[in-house]
Chains A and B, each alone.
Chain A
């Protein structure tokens, strides 16, 4: 009798009911883990931000001269002279965010196999899906938010420098209030980063994660060569170029906007963006479905993968 009760007590001790950690908590810690490992996610954009500030300080004398000459030309030229450096700063930061995302995705599920640490991560009660989803959150949400935050900080610092420089040179800083629309730029950027850099490119990121989970070596080539191969085969077999054109239109242009990051005027055209329209774009949603399939496949592949 007493032995039965000890066994029951033992079992109670070994299987406490609340000993389950919510998947949300696993998810949170998995994302933090990514930031520990891939410090370039925030370091690279920070360095670019610092360089932008240095460049802005060096060029500030030149900017004052431009503003002076533009004042006589007209309001449009003046506005360009004033907010051009701000737009460029945002553009650089978006560019580096893009690069960071690409390198991150290609590395994410490959590095853990290369350094054998996949065995350590798999020895913990975190599912492959949680791991893959948390990795996807980096290009989808984390990098866009870091880019926006750093842009805001950088532009505010630029503004302070700008005010000081204009004052020293005897130009009234009030032109900055009339011709610089930073807050508009920030709203535009939040949308641009989350919807375009995040959601619209989700199938591309998840494809790279899939290549990263699949490849034994050279995951970057596994990510890049298949689409090129499809284009080559199409060209040779049918002498057509539908696939490359489709790729270009899918990833080269943004939905609901003719302003693709690449033109320095992109930031002015935020008013042209129809957020509702781009969120209703079927291309966006079909892309997300494809992304989900790629992520599912990546998690499945990770399950059977060990150190390489």
Chain B
């Protein structure tokens, strides 16, 4: 059975539809990136997975119903939100004491040795730490937990480039192995492109694209088309076209690479490029339909 299985997930807040029939399946050992514009429903999906919010439809995480057994689920699931969730009054040493006290899979020595490599003092309170240090503290707590699923919601929001780089490096080098699963949402898509094994775009509560990274790389091609080749290139039905420095860049879905190479320089698009293309097309079609 998959680690996470969701079918027909729906969630409506007073006036807005946050999730509009989402089907979800995440296998063990994957690193799934969920990308979407603000208010697309990313956080709602994560909250449903974590048992923080109820939703319609069927959802099991590690064989449990997250909404009714959050506390049980959290033995195997770790969670980092954007940095501001550690209480400001908490001391670093207290955070370790508490997690060690209540979490059966917490390795205290591991957390302490991780912290020893930082500038964080055990007696400091969270309010006295910089934003980057708070993230390091959270990472130290989470990486010392032998969890099966790690959920990251905008984990590097507001951090400088150095800390962001360190964050994903530590995560990949010291934490991730094939028995663990990671789900991450972020706006800094370019940072996680090389990290992911799977990709999902969400918009207006629906999944608009779902792909493994291998599939992504073989399926999508971006071509810098010379102006005289533009007409034959357009005949191959690019899904998106943009102008950069006076040149046309066309994005193709499932068109043979050799054929495209004849039209200009080809490369694999970044997730951000594809994201812009998919979202722009979506808003265009939605602009026409009504």
Residues of A at the B interface (CB closer than 8 Å) are 10, 13-14, 18-21, 25-26, 28-30, 32-33, 36-37, 112, 115-117, 119-120, 122-128, 130, 303-304, 306-307
Contact = CB atoms under 8 A, between A and B. Distances in A.
Nearest to A127: B71
27 contacts: A10-B179, A13-B179, A14-B148, A14-B179, A19-B104, A20-B75, A21-B101, A21-B102, A21-B104, A33-B94, A36-B94, A115-B87, A115-B88, A116-B84, A117-B86, A117-B87, A119-B79, A123-B50, A123-B74, A124-B74, A125-B71, A125-B72, A125-B74, A125-B103, A125-B104, A130-B71, A303-B70
B99 A124 contact: yes
Contacts of A33: 94, 98
B26 to A, nearest CB: 16
Contact of A19 (B75, B90, B97): B75
A127 B94 CA distance: 20
Interface of B: 47, 50, 52-54, 70-76, 78-79, 81, 84-91, 94, 97-99, 101-105, 146, 148, 179
B75 A122 contact: no
A28 B54 contact: no
Given A124-B103, A127-B71, A306 B52 contact: yes
6 smallest CB-CB distances across A and B, nearest first, come from A29-B101, A117-B87, A127-B71, A19-B104, A125-B74, A123-B79
Main secondary structure of the interface of B (DSSP, over half): loop
Contacts of A26: 101-102
A125 B54 contact: no
Given A19-B104, A119-B85, A306 B53 contact: yes
Contacts of B79: 119, 123
B105 to A, nearest CB: 6
A120 B102 contact: no
A19 B89 CA distance: 29
Contacts of A10: 179
Nearest to B101: A29
Given A126-B71, A126-B74, 4 more contacts: A18-B104, A119-B79, A125-B104, A307-B85
A interface, over-half SS = helix
Contacts of A304: 53-54
Given A10-B179, A14-B148, A125-B75, A120 B103 contact: no
Contacts of A120: 85-87
Nearest to A37: B89
Q: By CB atoms of chain A within 10 A, which of B103, B105, B146 has the most?
A: B103
B102 A125 contact: yes
A133 to B, nearest CB: 13
B98 A29 contact: yes
Contacts of B53: 304, 306
Contacts of A130: 71
Nearest to A10: B179
Contacts of B84: 116
Nearest to A306: B52
A27 B78 CA distance: 21
B105 A19 contact: yes
A14 B149 CA distance: 11
A161 B105 CA distance: 53
B166 to A, nearest CB: 21
Contacts of A128: 70-71
A20 B86 contact: no
A304 B54 CA distance: 8
A122 B70 CA distance: 8
Contact of A25 (B85, B89, B102, B179): B102
A125 B53 CA distance: 16
A119 B81 contact: yes
B123 to A, nearest CB: 13
B74 A37 contact: no
A302 B22 CA distance: 26
Nearest to B138: A120
Contacts of B103: 21, 124-125
Contact of B85 (A19, A36, A117): A117
B101 A25 contact: yes
A29 B95 CA distance: 11
Contacts of B89: 36-37
A70 to B, nearest CB: 49
Contacts of B94: 33, 36
A18 B86 CA distance: 28
A116 B179 contact: no
B71 to A, nearest CB: 4
A30 B99 CA distance: 10
